[in-house]
Amino acid sequence: MERILGVPFRLNWSPSVTYSEDWYARSERRVLVDSTIQTTQEPGFTAIRRVNLGLSANTKFYGIFPVRLGPLNGLRHVVSPQVTFSYQPDYSAAPFDYFRTVTDARGAEVAYPIVAGIPNRQTQRLGFSLGNVFQTRIVRTDSTGEEQRRTVQLFTLNARTAYDFAAEERPFGDVGLDLASQGERFRFQVNATLSPYALDSLGAITPTSYFEETGRLLRVTRVGLTAGTSFRAGGGTNATGLPPGTGSFRPLGYDPTRPDYGLVPAGYVDFAVPWSLALDLTYGYTPARAPGGEAEQNAVLSVTQFDVSLTPNWKIAGSTGFDLMQREIATTQLSVVRDLHCWEMRFNWTPFGIYRSFSFSIYVKSGYLRDLLRLDVPRSAAGNRLGGVF
C-alpha cells in the first residue's frame, strides 16, 4: 500500500514465466529444385522449447460526484488501469536456432522455421488498458415511508492499445474502444478498432503514421453495434433473455457431429412461463481500404430465442433472423419439447438455410447425466455414451 497525494493507493504486481516444450518426430526442410522451392519432411527427433516472460500491474481508484437527478442519487466513477509487459526471444537466433535458410531462384536467402508456427523475431510488448465503470444509486420511498436504495451500473467504457519496443516498423498497436450498457430490459454495446498507420493506394498498411498522412490521429478500421432486449410473460425480463434459472435455447452454429446442433437446452426448460422472446440487432461497418473501394456493412435482426407453451407439458422454441443487407432470412431452427418429468423429449428441425436437417432426442434433465443417458436419432458421437444400451 502506497500513498499518492495523501490518498491510499494499491498497486498489484503479477510476474509470470511460461516455459513450454514440444517434441516432433520430423522437421521441415526446403530445397530449390528447378527454380522452385520444395518442402520435404526430414525424419528425426526435434524439440522446440519456448519461454515467455511477463509482468502486469494494475490498480483501481474512483471518484464520487454528489449529483441528483430524479431517483438517481450520486454518480460513482471507477477507473481500472492496467499495464502489461511481455518478452519473447528471437527463436531464429542462438541458443534456439529454430530457423534454416534456403537460396531462392534469384539468389536471395530466405529464412524458414523447422516447425510451423515459430515466430521469427523478438517481442517486447507493452500493453495498456483503461477500464471505466459509471454507477449510480436509485433511491425510492415505498408506501411505508422506508427509503429503498439500489446500485445500478450505467455503462462501461474501455480502451486498450500496445507498443512493441522490438518491432522494426509499426511498433504501435491498434487502439480498441468499447462502450456498453445493460439494464433489466435493454442492453447495447458499441465497439471500434482504430489504427495509427496509413494505407497505400492498394489498401496495404504502411509504416507512415495516419497523423502524418492526413493530420488526423487515428484511422477507423472497424465499428460494431449490438443492441438487444427481451420479453417474457408476467413482465419479468432481463437483457440476456430469461430470468435466472429459466431454461432457454441457444443458437450455436452448425455442427454435423451433433443431431441437436443449434438448439441446445441451457438448464431446465421452464414450462411454467407461457412465452418468452429475445431480440438482437447487430451492425458492423468496415471502411474501404483502397481508393474507389466499397465499404463493408452487415446488419442482422435476430430472434435469438423464443418459446411458446402449447400446454403445461408441450413447448415450441427456436431462433431465427433476417439479414437486413441481403434481404433474406437467416438460418431458422425450431424445436418441439415435451416434458417427461425427469426426462425431456425434443424434436429439432431446420426448415431452410445452408444446412437443412431434423433430429430427435430424449435425455435426462440432469446436467450431469444429460450427455450420458440420452438417445439421439440420427446417432452422434457426442451422445450415446453407453454404447448399445441407449
**Predicted model pTM:** 0.72
- Per DSSP, the chain holds a count of helices (H) and strands (E) of 1, 25
Residue 266, class by beta-carbon neighbours within 10 Å (0-12 exposed, 13-18 middle, 19+ buried)? middle
Question: What pLDDT is stored for residue 379 in this prediction?
Answer: 66
Residue 107 lies inside a defined structural domain of this protein: yes
Task: Please give the residue range of the domain that contains residue 61.
Answer: 1-159
d(CA 113, CA 282): 41
What's the pLDDT tens digit per position in 106-142? 888 889 999 988 988 899 999 999 999 999 988 877 7
What is the pLDDT at residue 8? Answer: 60
Q: Does residue 151 register a pLDDT over 60?
A: yes
Flag whether 102 is in a domain: yes
Q: Give the span between the Cα atoms of 259 and 266, in whole angstroms.
A: 16
Residue 86 lies in a domain: yes
Is residue 327 included in any domain, yes or no?
no
Indicate left, alpha or beta for 324 from its phi (over 0: left) and psi (-120 to 50: alpha).
Answer: alpha
| Amino acid present at 31 | V
What are the C-alpha distances in Å from 158 to residues 78, 80, 97, 187, 228? 11, 9, 40, 16, 20
- The predicted model gives 330-346 an average pLDDT of 87
Sign of CA dihedral 68, 72, 76, 77: negative
Going by pLDDT thresholds of 50, 70 and 90, the confidence category of residue 65 is: confident
Alpha carbon distance 322, 331 (integer Å): 9
Assess if residue 131 is contained within a domain.
Answer: yes
Confidence of residue 266 (pLDDT cuts 50, 70, 90): very low
Mean pLDDT of 331-360: 86
Q: What is the 3-state secondary structure (H, E, C) of 68-120?
A: EECCEEEEEEEEEEEEEEEEECCCCCCCCCCEEEEECCCCCEEEEECCCCCCC
Q: How far apart are CA 289 and CA 205, in angstroms?
A: 9
Give the chain's domain count: 1
Q: Is residue 113 part of a domain?
A: yes
Judge whether 99 lies within some domain.
yes
- 178 or 35, greater pLDDT: 178
Q: Is residue 111 part of a domain?
A: yes
214 three-state secondary structure: helix
φ, ψ of residue 213 in degrees (nearest 5): -80, -40
